[in-house]
Amino acid sequence: MKFGILINEGPYQHQSSDSAYQFAKASIEKGHTIFRVFFYHDGVNNATNLTAPPTDDRNVTLRWTELAQEHDVDLVVCIAAALRRGILDESEAKRQNKANFNLADGFRISGLGQLIEAGIQCDRVVVFGD
């Protein structure tokens, strides 16, 4: 089965991102495909490379980065939600006249069309968070 995943909550305020990650990992282990993970609303906060959790805590952003690299999972961050929350890739930082960017490795910024495409291409889109 081909899954799309929508995450609407940040990495440390809510269980959604952890649950989505565990779902994605278990699905891959069972032979399913994760077509795309789309980060929306506060879910875009999963994509910042500026988080620095204590060493005895989980690093949610790094988990997603590693999953994407190991299993060719497309991690897409909603551009409108990202800009509102200060999440920028290098090209957006230049376009917005910002000195720095903070999008973590493995993530990319795009529009809601990517979520629509996941809905068309996937057997199921599973939503985590309100």
Q: Which amino acid is at 51?
A: T
> Could you tell me the strand order of the sheet in which 2-7 lies?
107-110, 74-78, 33-39, 2-7, 124-128
- Check 20, 78, 104, 118 and give the catalytic one: 78
Phi and psi at residue 128, to the nearest 5°: -120, 120
Asked about 122 being catalytic, the answer comes back as no
Measured between alpha carbons, how far is 129 from 17 in angstroms, rounded to an integer? 8
* Dihedral sign computed on CA atoms, order 7, 37, 47, 94: negative
Catalytic residues: 78
